[in-house]
Amino acid sequence: MMDKDRIFGTAKEFAGKAESAVGDATGDAQTQASGRAREAAGAVQDLYGQAKDAARDAADTAVNYAKDTFKDAYEHRGETVRSGQKAVAQTVQDNPLGSLLIAGGIGFALALLMTRQPRRPPSRWRYYG
């Protein structure tokens, strides 16, 4: 879909060229200048519309890519989980002592977090004077 700024910009640019040509033919410097100014404004508006179209296309492409990627990941979630489980199992088999130390460290950290005393708010010093 073409942006309306591209359409209006192209129309202004064309009108500016026509006005400038009329100014050239009649020798009217003010009409020539007005035509060139309108032509430049139309070109700028057309470029702005092109930039908006490019940004919209890039956003659409990114959204479609994300949808496809997440759709594939969702459809193959079982395979992904199984391959992750196999990788963890292989790591534990390759290095059982390291795996045991890591699991023990995680358990110790969780125990500290669960048995920690709740913080009391600091006492407030009041000055009555």
- How many domains are there within the chain? 2
- On whether residue 33 sits in a domain, the answer given is yes
Is 32 found in the same domain as 94? no
The whole-angstrom distance between residue 112's C-alpha and the CA centroid of its chain comes to: 40
Is 71 found in the same domain as 82? no
* pLDDT grade for 18, boundaries at 50, 70 and 90: very high
Is 44 found in the same domain as 9? yes
Residue 56's domain comprises 1-75
Is 37 found in the same domain as 13? yes
Note the pLDDT of residue 98. 83
Give the closest residue to 19 by CA, choosing from 9, 8, 29, 34: 34
Instruction: Please tell me the least confidently modeled range out of 4-13, 40-49, 118-127.
Output: 118-127
* pLDDT grade for 67, boundaries at 50, 70 and 90: confident
Is 56 found in the same domain as 97? no
- On whether residue 103 sits in a domain, the answer given is yes
- On whether residue 71 sits in a domain, the answer given is yes
The whole-angstrom distance between residue 33's C-alpha and the CA centroid of its chain comes to: 42
Is 51 found in the same domain as 105? no
Note the pLDDT of residue 128. 64
Is 66 found in the same domain as 35? yes
Average pLDDT over residues 30-55: 88
- On whether residue 128 sits in a domain, the answer given is no
Note the pLDDT of residue 101. 86
Is 68 found in the same domain as 24? yes
- On whether residue 125 sits in a domain, the answer given is no
